[in-house]
A and B are shown apart, each in its own frame.
Chain A
Amino acid sequence: MRLSLVVLGVVVGAAYQGEPRAQAPVAAGELKENLDLPFDAAAAIDDEEDAPEIVVLYGQVLEGDGFIFVGEGTT
């Protein structure tokens, strides 16, 4: 009888895994380990555009870096 109870206890214990565990948040320490990159590891952002020149001609606002002006002496 005692043996049967022991066997039953083992079987039930093996079958019962307890309450389903909620997804435990990743510990901050683990994250840090993955992200602990050198301070200068980021690629330099060197493709930032310079602001264009702004030319105002007859109130027309023109933005660019290179300008070809075409004039005509026609009356």
Chain B
Amino acid sequence: MLGVAKRRIAHSIQELSAKAEFAIVYGGFPSARPEVPAALQTFPDHGRPVAALEPAKRGAEAFLAGAPVDRMAVLIDDFRAALRSAEDLAARRKVIVYVGPGYVHDQRYEEALREIRLRNTVGARIFPIGVSPYPEADQFLKALAAQNGGTYLRVD
């Protein structure tokens, strides 16, 4: 299912015009530190958004093709990185799209909601797409959208 998600994200990026900016945060890469369950990587490496020009689109496609689909991710870390990237967007209408199961490490859903809301100082609209989420994650993603100006979609 998440392999499909990767391809759909790649497809969406291909459709952006050169006026748009984008970046990718992807959680679930193997971590070099045993105490950390997963590492995230960003495209571009520096995490700052880039214009959706052809070289950037090709780079994004290659990045997503190499991203894992079988590892645990740490959602709050992914969102911290995404919100930092959003701060660097020159675009006025900022959108964060999350595609994943919505699982929060240690079930700290309320803390995660609070932290994301507080860190979202640029008013990015957050659109979570829950991929076969557990009930708690489903509720979390729904609240995440409601608190950050987006809408929630569940896919199974």
Binding site for B on A (CB under 8 A): 50, 52-53, 55-60, 62-75
Q: Could you tell me the distance between the alpha carbons of A59 and B97 in the complex, rounded to whole angstroms?
A: 13
Q: Could you tell me the distance between the alpha carbons of A52 and B28 in the complex, rounded to whole angstroms?
A: 31
Of the four ranges (under 10, 10 to 19, 20 to 34, 35 or more), the interface on chain B belongs to: 35 or more
Are B20 and A68 in contact, with the CB atoms below 8 A? Answer: no
Are B99 and A70 in contact, with the CB atoms below 8 A? Answer: yes
Count of A-B residue pairs with CB < 8 Å: 150
A67-B97 contact given A58-B8, A72-B26, CB 8 Å threshold: yes
* CB contact between B2 and one of A50, A55, A69, A73 (< 8 Å): that residue: A73
Q: Could you tell me the distance between the alpha carbons of A47 and B87 in the complex, rounded to whole angstroms?
A: 23
Interface residues of B in 1-51 (CB under 8 A from A): 2, 5-6, 8-9, 12-13, 15-17, 19-29, 38, 49
Are A65 and B129 in contact, with the CB atoms below 8 A? Answer: no
Give every chain B residue within 8 A of A59 (Cβ-Cβ).
Answer: 153
Give every chain B residue within 8 A of A68 (Cβ-Cβ).
Answer: 22-25, 49, 82, 85-86, 89, 94-97, 124
Q: Could you tell me the distance between the alpha carbons of A73 and B9 in the complex, rounded to whole angstroms?
A: 13
Q: Which of A63, A65, A73, A75 gathers the greatest number of chain B CB atoms within 10 Å? A: A73
